Structure formats: C-alpha cells, structure tokens
A and B are shown apart, each in its own frame.
Chain A
C-alpha cells in the first residue's frame, strides 16, 4: 500500500515562501495538495499527474508551483507570496492505483477517481 509523508510546514510572514514536500512509498497516478484552513472545509489546491501535467485552484494560481523529483518519488509545492488566508493544514493525497472498471478516468481521459491515500498533513501558518 502506498504511503505519503509530508514535510516542510512552518511559520512564515506574509509575502514569504515555503516549500512543502510529499514523499511517496510507491507509484501513484497523481498527487494532489488539499488544504484545510481553521474553521473551514477542504480546499483542493493542485495536482500533478505521473505524466507531468499540472493544474491549480484559482486561489493559488501564479503563486504556488507543484513539481516532482521522479528519482526520489517526491512531489513539492513551492508556495510564494504567502497570505494569511493560506494558513491551513496541507495534505498531499493520491491514489493507490487499484481502481478498475468504470469511473477510473475523467472526461479528459485522465486517471482520476478520488483520493484514497492521504498523508498526515503539515501545518502552514502565515502571520506577522
């Protein structure tokens, strides 16, 4: 079973930067970043597919960059121009690759059927 381990959270002032990492113990078709701000619900942030394609939520587009180091099976989230409303627990989440049959590919023919593997989360606090 794939396991995901995040690192890199911490305290940063507004306008600062942080880089989160997500180390995977096995192959995943995609890795997402999902965050939960205090008192708020889950918010999807970004995805990187095994083929390299990336997508972002509008709230982070232009400020956050998702990337990966294939040799280390690790995904990164570079967060720049951080704001107070970026304060949250950040989870990396992906798939176990066990989906079969219908529902495993979305309309763009990307393998995606939900997030069935999650890391424990890392906390980012943006405050002056």
Chain B
C-alpha cells in the first residue's frame, strides 16, 4: 500500500504569515489528493481536492499544489481561526490513506 507522510508534524506561526505544509506519497498518485482541516472539538472540513481545486466555501487564502508524489498546502496569510490539524488523503485507489497530520498553532 502507498504510504503518506507530512512535514512538519507541527508548526507555530504569526498571524499574517505564509504557511506551507508538505505531503508526500511513496508512489505516484497523480493528482488524487485531498486536504482537510480538523479543528479541536469539530468535525473535519474538506479544503481541497484534486490536489489544487478549492472546495466551495473555503477561503481563498488556502491553496494546494503538486502532482505525482509531492504536494503542498499553503495558507497565504495565517488567521487565528486557522488553528487546526491539517491532513492530506490520497484517493487514487483504496485504501484511502490519510497522512499523519500537521498541527498549526498561532504564536
């Protein structure tokens, strides 16, 4: 099965900073990748699918890029409400594995 990794595992940044999270697959998954935001006490929220397509209703400060094995999620200007754990998920074929997550905090 394809393994997913994310880096960093956690980060702390200031409001307004540009934040980048990396997701890597150990085999080619083309652009079959989604990103989720999971806030404490809330249900997960789909941010991006097909590696770079912004889900309806998601703020435009979120963007995704990449293809093949390397992907990034970028928050262009970090806001206090962005404190959450972010996960990538591959969906080229089952199993639809999630990455281990990246926890984002605001300084």
- Interface positions of A (Cβ within 8 A of B): 32, 34, 41-44, 47, 55-58, 91, 93, 98-99, 102-104, 106-108, 112-116, 118-121
Contacts and interface: CB of A to CB of B under 8 A. Distances in A.
Which of A58, A114, A118 counts the most chain B CB atoms within 10 A? A114
A118 B85 contact: no
Nearest to A118: B43
6 contacts: A41-B101, A57-B95, A91-B44, A108-B93, A114-B89, A121-B43
Contact of A42 (B32, B87, B92, B93): B87
A47 B96 contact: yes
Interface of B: 1, 30-32, 34, 36, 38, 43-44, 46, 48-51, 53, 55-56, 85, 87, 89, 91-101
Q: Is the interface of A mostly helix, strand, loop or mixed?
A: loop
A86 B51 CA distance: 30
Contacts of A107: 30, 32, 92-93
A12 B34 CA distance: 33
A102 B50 contact: yes
B49 A114 contact: yes
A114 B55 contact: yes
A48 B6 CA distance: 27
B30 A58 contact: no
B4 to A, nearest CB: 10
Nearest to B33: A114
A55 B94 contact: yes
B34 A43 contact: no
